[in-house]
């Protein structure tokens, strides 16, 4: 299978992630290996790259793509939130840099067949890890109307959450909602046409909310951010690329030590308050892709990259 995914902000990632070419680095969301390939080209022969992902189809493609680098690369089917356990198992205490790219890959949108895209007619799955967890279809067809409304608002700030939730419940009384296209058409018909966004599909926010819920994305990000400082050497860096405000808010608060998380309804942790200067944001504001990159790769337009560095040893 051809790999068409174009990694986002490659030059910026390399510039901020790699501090010591001979170091040990982690790509916590390897996908089909776009960022990892560029990292491998930049680190020294003595350097190591550990790659994690939960999508076994993407892992298969990444293994093929990164095979020329041999045992310099280790690929593990695990979530980045389990990075501490992965490192312990392979005998590594701390690393020099960690990258998370939290976006969907082109492969997942176009070729996975799991209903991530509202344009295609695919089974309503949306799991990154096909081996476990509820599918989006199971959530849509079983959750209460109130629960669905809360999910759409909490994870996507969907202003039409109540109307969409009611429409879904009414539709599933006729029969289960089983495909991404079926759900997208329902939402498109539910939101009044004059309020349809001009630059995105009206189902975009609903699909975002379901994907976040199914994959426990915000919980995983928060869990990683809490563990992250203890996994880095002094001077080690973490680079996170986010694509929507909920992700970016968690990362920003963690990197800038903004205190209590203000997300509702869940309270999610940030870096431990006991050692607030353990990590330092290297940029006051998040970095954005260049206009040139967005013109070439429109999917990069919503990306925001934040970088933090471990400032001293415990």
What DSSP element (H or E) covers 97? strand 95-101
Q: Is residue 285 part of a domain?
A: yes
Nearest CA-CA partner of 206 in 268, 265, 163: 163
In order along the chain (314 residues), what is the average pLDDT of each group of 10 residues? 73 97 97 96 97 94 96 97 97 97 82 86 94 95 97 96 98 96 97 92 96 96 94 96 94 72 40 58 92 92 95 72
The residues with which 95 forms a beta bridge, in sequence order, are 232
Same domain, 268 and 284: yes
Q: Is residue 2 part of a domain?
A: no
Same domain, 80 and 225: yes
Same domain, 102 and 245: yes
Query: In whole angstroms, what is the distance from residue 67 CA to residue 53 CA?
Result: 16
Same domain, 232 and 95: yes
Please list, in sequence order, all residues whose beta carbon lies within 8 angstroms of the beta carbon of residue 292, skipping any fewer than 6 positions away: none
Neighbours of 264 (CB within 10 A): 9
Same domain, 223 and 102: yes
Q: Is residue 77 part of a domain?
A: yes
| pLDDT value, residue 5 | 65
Cα dist. 46→21, 54, 73 in Å? 8, 27, 11
Same domain, 122 and 210: yes
Give phi and psi for 4, each to the nearest 5. -105, -5
Same domain, 236 and 101: yes
| Alpha helix ranges (H) inside 192-259 | 204-215, 217-227, 245-256
Q: Mark which of 197, 215, 233 sits at the end of a domain.
A: 215
Q: What is the DSSP letter of 203?
A: T
DSSP letters along 167-189, please?
HHHHHHHHS---BHHHHHHHHHH
What is the CATH number for 134? 1.10.150.170
Q: What is the DSSP letter of 44?
A: -
For the entire predicted model, the pTM comes to 0.90
Angle at 283 between CA 83 and CA 299, to 5 degrees: 70
Same domain, 72 and 136: no
Q: Mark which of 185, 215, 245 sits at the end of a domain.
A: 215
What DSSP element (H or E) covers 75? strand 73-77
Domain extent, residue 116, equals 112-215
| pLDDT value, residue 269 | 45
| pLDDT value, residue 284 | 85
| pLDDT value, residue 260 | 37
Q: Mark which of 161, 191, 215 sits at the end of a domain.
A: 215
Same domain, 125 and 46: no
Neighbours of 177 (CB within 10 A): 17
Same domain, 171 and 266: no
Q: Is residue 1 part of a domain?
A: no
Same domain, 235 and 93: yes
Query: In whole angstroms, what is the distance from residue 63 CA to residue 236 CA?
Result: 26
In the chain, how many domains are there? 2
What is the CATH number for 222? 3.40.50.150
* First vs last C-alpha separation in the chain: 46
The residues with which 260 forms a beta bridge, in sequence order, are none
| pLDDT value, residue 101 | 96
Going by DSSP bridges, is the β-strand pair 279-281/95-101 parallel, antiparallel, or unpaired? unpaired
DSSP letters along 103-145, please?
SPPHHHHHTS-SS--SSS--BS---SSTTSS--HHHHHHHS-H
């Amino acid at each position: 299978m051809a790999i068409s995914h174009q990694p986002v902000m490659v030059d910026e990632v390399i510039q901020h992630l790699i501090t010591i070419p001979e170091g040990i680095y982690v790509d916590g969301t390897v996908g089909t290996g776009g960022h990892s390939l560029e990292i491998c080209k930049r680190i020294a022969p003595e350097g190591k790259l550990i790659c994690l992902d939960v999508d076994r189809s993407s892992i298969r493609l990444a293994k093929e793509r990164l095979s020329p680098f041999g045992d310099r690369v280790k690929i593990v089917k695990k979530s980045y939130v389990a990075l501490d356990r992965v490192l312990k198992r392979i005998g590594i205490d701390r690393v020099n840099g960690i990258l998370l790219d939290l976006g969907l890959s082109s492969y997942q949108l176009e070729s996975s067949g799991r209903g991530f895209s509202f344009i295609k007619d695919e089974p309503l799955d949306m799991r990154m890890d096909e081996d476990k967890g509820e599918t989006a279809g199971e959530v849509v067809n079983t959750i209460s109307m109130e629960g669905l409304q809360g999910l759409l608002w909490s994870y996507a700030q969907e202003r039409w959450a109540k109307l969409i939730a009611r429409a879904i419940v009414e539709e599933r009384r006729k029969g289960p909602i089983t495909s991404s296209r079926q759900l997208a058409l329902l939402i498109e018909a539910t939101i009044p046409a004059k309020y349809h966004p001009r630059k995105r599909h009206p189902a975009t926010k609903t699909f975002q909310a379901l994907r976040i819920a199914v994959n426990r994305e915000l919980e995983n990000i928060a869990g990683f951010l809490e563990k992250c400082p203890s996994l880095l050497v002094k001077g080690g860096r973490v680079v996170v690329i986010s694509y929507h405000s909920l992700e970016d808010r968690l990362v920003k608060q963690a990197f800038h030590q903004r205190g209590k998380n203000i997300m509702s309804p869940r309270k999610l942790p940030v870096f431990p308050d006991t050692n607030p200067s353990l990590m330092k944001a290297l940029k006051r504001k998040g970095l954005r892709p260049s206009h040139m990159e967005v013109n070439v790769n429109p999917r990069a337009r919503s990306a925001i990259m934040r970088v933090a560095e471990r400032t001293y040893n415990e």
